[in-house]
Structure 1
Amino acid sequence: MRLDKYLSQATGISRKDIRRLMRRDDVSVNGMAVRDPSLHIDPEADEVCLQDQPVEAPGHRYLMVYKPVGYVSASDDPTHPTVNSLVDLPRQDSLHCCGRLDIDATGLVLLTDDGQWSHRITSPRHKLAKSYRVTTADPIEPEAVATFAEGLKLHGELKRTRPARLEILSACEAVVELTEGRYHQVKRMFAALGNRVLSLHRQRIGPIELDPELAPGDYRYLTESEIHSILP
């Protein structure tokens, strides 16, 4: 791969600016300053540094973000702050959310630039379970457990929801596990029972759980085991 292409893809800096940095001897390969942007390098074998800092080979990135209230699950929005804006990384705009989380909800959002990986999360065909902690306005009736397990009709829809697991924690608190992602689904399921969701927090997507060390607005890279846990 050409050196300028490698650096541009890895850092998000334009090739024009990369060449400017090279003229200032800010780029080195295996410890030697390089000014030739067309130099071909081996990403697996050569050590490339920018301003004395190693530059990792460009590749797919996988992150978890603790979304706070008020942020939208999008890379760009004209009126609200986005989940992407919480991530201070090069090529931030190349990352996309693996599914949506309501603006007033909190919790786990996964970001990546790997389309195939995110498809396994978002495609209904894979039936990847997602877990939410819910607080409701009114007490949750015990019969709701069976209703969720059977599936129920949402307002304006003909097809029942897939069976969902409801675990009642206290009078107005529960954990809901779904294997589909209809629009505002958790809120609409409780609305169908005459109840209202006051708070919604996603704590797990498939086998990936929100890191308890993260505070709202924080993020971290996924571990290799977390990444591969989504793959077939």
Structure 2
Amino acid sequence: MKNRAALIFGYNDYALEIAKNVTYEYENVYLYSLNSEQDILKNRSCFEVKSFDLSDKWDDLNENIDIQNSIAFCVLEDSAENIFLTISLRSSFVNLNIIALSNNKQTANKLQMAGANKVIPLVQTTAEMISEMLQKPIVKDVFHKILFESGALKIAQVKVNESNCYIGNVVSDIDWSKRYGIVVLAIVNEDMSSEFIYSSKVKHHIVSKDDMYIVVGYETDIKEFEKMTGSACD
């Protein structure tokens, strides 16, 4: 039986971040790696990784993937290879939804001409993320003080204990900045990797015992936050 899947072509940090964020939408997530990429991140992925070549005829996809209800991400770091990949996929799959990343406007135009349904410029993605953060008054205040005032702000890693009153709540439903005057930047995972607090994956995260948060704020505010969450790690 053919399955609905997210197909991510490219084995790099962008690919891994996309994979982690689409697992909520797609039960099957496959990373496709060019041989030249394989050794770079071989120990950093919990997803199935398949090798592919730009000359592939995509027979495996035809046999096993429900193309019409799947999505492909073209995130090869070489622009020419990314464009060629997009052309190849589009020529083989008229109904496949193709999302491509580009590093400049010229490449974005070429990817659209190559058949990508949507092109996301990397510069735009980063700018929109920063813009979203800076719309929050507490974040504006923190950045202003970091840039223009004395270094009174601190960064801390805080761990949640079993008595925390927010355990069981969704992270995005809690306005810690308003209540405690701190900004939560990221959540630290069990493997000590971190997830940006504004990513779609973290927004759905349920607060649980032993969660660790990276926060920034004044020392007194951080101490109050530590009392609420449990204990300071660092």
Q: What is the TM-score of this pair, normalised by structure 2? A: 0.23
Structure (1 or 2) with the greater helix fraction = 2
Choose 1 or 2 for highest CA Rg. Answer: 1
Greater RCO (CA < 8 Å, at least 6 residues apart): 1
Q: What is the TM-score of this pair, normalised by structure 1? A: 0.23
